[in-house]
Amino acid sequence: MSLIVTGTIGIDTLHAPTGSAERVLGGSCSYFAAAASHLTPVRVVGAVGGDFPAEHAAILESFKGVCLKGLERRPASRTFAWGGRYLDDMNRRETLFTELGVLEEAPPKVPAAYQDSQFVFLCNTHPSVQMDLLRQFPRRALAVCDTMDLWINVARLELLALFHEVDGVVLNDQEAMQLTEARNAVSAGRAILDLGPKFVVVKKGEHGAILVHRDGVATLPAYPADASHVVDPTGAGDTFAGGLMAHVALTGKGDFATLQGGMAWGTVMASFTIEAFGLDRLRTLDAAQIAERMKRFQTAARVG
Amino acid sequence: MSLIVTGTIGIDTLHAPTGSAERVLGGSCSYFAAAASHLTPVRVVGAVGGDFPAEHAAILESFKGVCLKGLERRPASRTFAWGGRYLDDMNRRETLFTELGVLEEAPPKVPAAYQDSQFVFLCNTHPSVQMDLLRQFPRRALAVCDTMDLWINVARLELLALFHEVDGVVLNDQEAMQLTEARNAVSAGRAILDLGPKFVVVKKGEHGAILVHRDGVATLPAYPADASHVVDPTGAGDTFAGGLMAHVALTGKGDFATLQGGMAWGTVMASFTIEAFGLDRLRTLDAAQIAERMKRFQTAARVG
């Protein structure tokens, strides 16, 4: 079943207590697609500028399951670039710079060949852009959007309109509580269900994720990684969403049990992403390593 | 198999956004014993003063599985009393007052009839007192201690000596990281293993708990409660330990799989404690409610 992701393909500069990485391939769409492609083919809709390095394009192309027909190259524009620094415990980060580049221009067009896409994930961007992209998938079976605190603050009405159109929402716990003024993640999820979607996945970083669905609640811890294996948390949430949606697309269903299973795949994929800067760990990953990590996670997170 | 708990039986005054409770029965030992008693008989070693209300004694006696032969009444002394206020998100609290009372005197004596106890839990108190109590159980099969930031700061050497004698340690994530200077709960647990114990349970409050054992790592989320059901978090950690140790004592084993199973029982028992002030919810609990909650938890926390 065809999976598609829309979002940012960018150039990241990262500083962490574990080291630094200068102008590496980043962006939510890149992380999502790289992770999902290990499980199922994934189509990409995004835009980059004339400065987008050939080696970054080569990295995207190296993921066999990633289809780049929807990647727009705009020679006169600049690629989105972001710089960030992680603080000591790696749970907090500060933004050093943001160069919007192509994100200030018209959103990318969805190629005609992509309009039959069934499973749609809209990475975080202005909710009006997400809505515009969503409408270009008339045959969608299931659509899910991410968002962030910025849009909750400056584009709340557009965000609420989007929530009415999607099947699911993925967002961080702090954002979910900010949006709903709920006191915990479960209650925030329930409050968001009242805004339209059938399910909400509340991401809690190193503490896992909670699925609040019209048919039930699921909760999953993160993979219990040693601190020495946590090199760069960038993209963990997007990778989680990629693993989750890949499982949904593979299964062809969006019911509670499928989403619960998808959360485990998302958790496993995210556990790899954080082991290296940028997409480095996802590039060297193979099916046997994924299967082994899933087995370990199932053992570690077994209930009784 | 005989389970015993040593610790504080106190009088709590609690303030929370959900309401207040004046001079209710509290103390780590009370919470532990009340929770454990729903699963297996439990012996109590603790001391109270002449001011200990008859109705609080009646509450302890109302838990059929709790044996109070080791409860010392000291007419000329005062019972430990504590007052605290929970802040808005219920994850942080401030201490309003602490009256040590009997805790400033000699620790309670372990009755001769208790010296054959096999499964020993030492609730948080000065590690020298814990050590003294531990030595009074020569036939113990498994001993576990709790601790807190205060002792890490002012009695580190005594704490390290205790860690050499016990089989397991239970403590909060912040305390575990403070003690070891590790960057996350898993690494903190591993660092504590190097200090002597066979296993460490790192409690993360609403984010669950992680077991770091010489034979593996287990991770479990908390029960996904609606915020409206969280009335008073006091005693959640002690209740968790009570459920965990009750399962260990029932099983008669302290291996990785048994402790992993015990964490689920601890999680379920804690999910009840927080639903009311003090021990109120544990008093009305029955076996059918516990079994149903466990079933719900297993469904919610299933991996894939």
Q: List alpha helices for chain B, DSSP H.
A: 28-37, 54-62, 127-134, 149-154, 156-165, 173-180, 185-193, 236-251, 256-273, 280-283, 287-300
Say if strands A119-122 and A3-6 run parallel, antiparallel, or are unpaired. Answer: parallel
Point out which residues pair with A85 in neighbouring strands: A15, A94
Q: Which of B190, B224, B304 sits opposite A260 (nearest CB)?
A: B304
Q: Is the pLDDT of residue A92 over 90?
A: no
Q: Are A35 and A65 in contact (CB under 8 A)?
A: no
**Quick one: what percent of chain A has pLDDT higher than 90?**
97
Q: Which of A247, A250, A287, A281 is nearest to A263 (CA)?
A: A247
Whether residue B242 lies inside any domain: the answer is: yes
Q: Which of A296, A226, A293 is nearest to A18 (CA)?
A: A226
Query: What is the residue type of A269?
Result: M
Encoded tokens for B140: 């113990």
Backbone angles phi, psi at A207, to 5 degrees: -100, 5
Q: Are A50 and A257 in contact (CB under 8 A)?
A: no
Residue of A nearest to B17 (CA): A183
Whether residue B49 lies inside any domain: the answer is: yes
Place of tokens 């699963």: B39
Whether residue B201 lies inside any domain: the answer is: yes
Q: Is the pLDDT of residue B214 over 90?
A: yes
Q: For B126-152, what is each residue's pLDDT tens digit?
A: 999 999 999 999 999 999 999 999 999
Tell the burial category of B155 from Cβ atoms under 10 Å away from its Cβ (0-12, 13-18, 19+): middle
Whether residue B90 lies inside any domain: the answer is: no
Q: Which of B34, B48, B57, B125 is nearest to B80 (CA)?
A: B48
Task: Say if the Cβ atoms of B184 and A88 lie within 8 Å.
Answer: no
Distances from the Cα of A10 to the Cαs of A51, A60, A272, B205, in angstroms? Answer: 11, 12, 20, 37
Task: Say if the Cβ atoms of B186 and A226 lie within 8 Å.
Answer: yes
Q: Which of B88, B223, B303 sits opposite A220 (nearest CB)?
A: B303
Q: What is the pLDDT of residue B90?
A: 84
Q: State which residues form the domain around A110.
A: 3-300
Domains: count for chain A:
1
Rounded Cα gap, residues A271 and A60, in angstroms = 20
- Residues found in chain B: 304
Q: Determine the average pLDDT of the residues in A226-244.
A: 97
Whether residue B16 lies inside any domain: the answer is: yes
pLDDT tier, A88 (very low <50, low <70, confident <90, very high otherwise): confident
Whether residue B26 lies inside any domain: the answer is: yes
How many C-beta atoms surround the C-beta of residue B222 within 10 A?
A: 27
Rounded Cα gap, residues B209 and B265, in angstroms = 12
The sign one gets for the Cα dihedral B29, B31, B36, B42 is positive
Q: How many CB pairs under 8 A join A and B?
A: 118
Task: Say if the Cβ atoms of A217 and B228 lie within 8 Å.
Answer: no
Q: Is the pLDDT of residue B1 over 70?
A: no
B113 DSSP 8-state letter:
G
The sign one gets for the Cα dihedral B48, B50, B56, B62 is positive
Backbone angles phi, psi at A148, to 5 degrees: -150, 170
Q: Which of B43, B63, B51 is nearest to B10 (CA)?
A: B51
Q: Are A50 and A77 in contact (CB under 8 A)?
A: yes
Contacts of B302 in chain A (CB under 8 A): 218, 260, 303
Rounded Cα gap, residues B89 and A179, in angstroms = 15
Q: Is the pLDDT of residue A29 over 90?
A: yes
Tell the burial category of B69 from Cβ atoms under 10 Å away from its Cβ (0-12, 13-18, 19+): exposed
Interface of A with B (CB under 8 A): 88-90, 182-187, 190, 204, 206-208, 210, 216-228, 230, 260-261, 263-265, 294, 297-304
Q: Which of B90, B204, B219 sits opposite A183 (nearest CB)?
A: B90
Tell the burial category of B75 from Cβ atoms under 10 Å away from its Cβ (0-12, 13-18, 19+): exposed
Q: Are A152 and A127 in contact (CB under 8 A)?
A: no
3-state secondary structure of A24: strand
pLDDT tier, B89 (very low <50, low <70, confident <90, very high otherwise): confident
Over the range A228-256, which residues count as b (16 or more CB within 10 Å of their CB) and which as e? ebbbbbbbbbbbbbbbbbbbbbbbebbeb
Q: Determine the average pLDDT of the residues in B271-299.
A: 98
Q: Are A39 and A266 in contact (CB under 8 A)?
A: no
Q: Is the pLDDT of residue A270 over 90?
A: yes
Q: Is the pLDDT of residue A65 over 70?
A: yes
Q: Which of B216, B158, B162, B155 is nearest to B190 (CA)?
A: B216
By mean pLDDT, which of A71-75, A208-212, B84-88 is the weakest? B84-88
CATH number at residue B156: 3.40.1190.20
A62 DSSP 8-state letter:
H
Q: For A161-206, what is each residue's pLDDT tens digit?
A: 999 999 999 999 999 999 999 999 999 999 999 999 999 999 999 9
Q: Is the pLDDT of residue A254 over 80?
A: yes
Query: What is the residue type of B200?
Result: V
Q: Which of B183, B221, B227 sits opposite A220 (nearest CB)?
A: B221
pLDDT tier, A90 (very low <50, low <70, confident <90, very high otherwise): confident
Q: What is the pLDDT of residue A304?
A: 77
